[in-house]
């Protein structure tokens, strides 16, 4: 039995969760992002939670490097609760379960925060340069140089 089969067998024994072949393939896709499209009740959330657990337990990914994005606040909450139930040894606070809207807000807020800081630093440098020029001029006029 290989590493991935051990993971699936352990989770089936511990949680009673059994994934079909397509779901297992999605869990094992660990290089890059993954988009799951399927009908309601087909196991998307369970597959996503199992993939996150696989990334952490089998691939050694730091939980704080994982961001799970969904459409609604209710599904983000459901994912967080389910993750806590499936993988209780990991803090649900270390993984960011959020909505697409909150992700967009985060990106925009970070962009403008950085832009504001860049502008503030630029203005501060300009003020400092003007002050330096002013005092240099005063010093020359007063024959201090």
Report domain extents, the chain.
3-141
Cα separation, 139 vs 22, in Å, equals 78
Give me the mean pLDDT over the 80-104 stretch: 87
pLDDT band at 2 (very low <50, low <70, confident <90, very high): confident
> May I ask the CATH class of domain 3-141?
alpha beta
Cα separation, 121 vs 62, in Å, equals 34
Return the closest-CA partner of residue 75 out of 51, 53, 113, 102: 102
Give me the mean pLDDT over the 25-32 stretch: 91
Give me the mean pLDDT over the 71-97 stretch: 87
CA 43 to chain centre: 22
User: Range with the lowest mean pLDDT among 51-65, 98-112, 122-136?
Assistant: 122-136
Pick 145 or 137 by higher pLDDT: 137
Cα separation, 139 vs 133, in Å, equals 10
Q: How many CA atoms lie within 13 A of 9 on its CB side?
A: 6
């Amino acid at each position: 039995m290989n590493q991935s089969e051990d993971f699936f067998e352990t989770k089936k024994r511990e949680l009673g969760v059994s994934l079909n072949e397509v779901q297992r393939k999605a869990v094992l896709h660990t290089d890059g992002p993954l988009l799951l499209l399927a009908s309601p009740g087909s196991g998307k959330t369970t597959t996503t939670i199992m993939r996150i657990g696989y990334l952490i337990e089998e691939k050694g990914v730091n939980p704080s490097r994982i961001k799970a994005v969904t459409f609604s606040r209710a599904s983000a909450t459901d994912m967080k609760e389910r993750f806590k139930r499936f993988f209780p040894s990991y803090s649900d606070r270390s993984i960011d379960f959020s909505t697409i809207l909150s992700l967009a807000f985060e990106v925009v807020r970070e962009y403008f925060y950085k832009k504001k800081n860049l502008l503030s630093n630029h203005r501060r440098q300009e003020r400092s340069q003007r002050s330096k020029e002013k005092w240099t001029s005063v010093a020359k006029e007063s024959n201090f140089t």
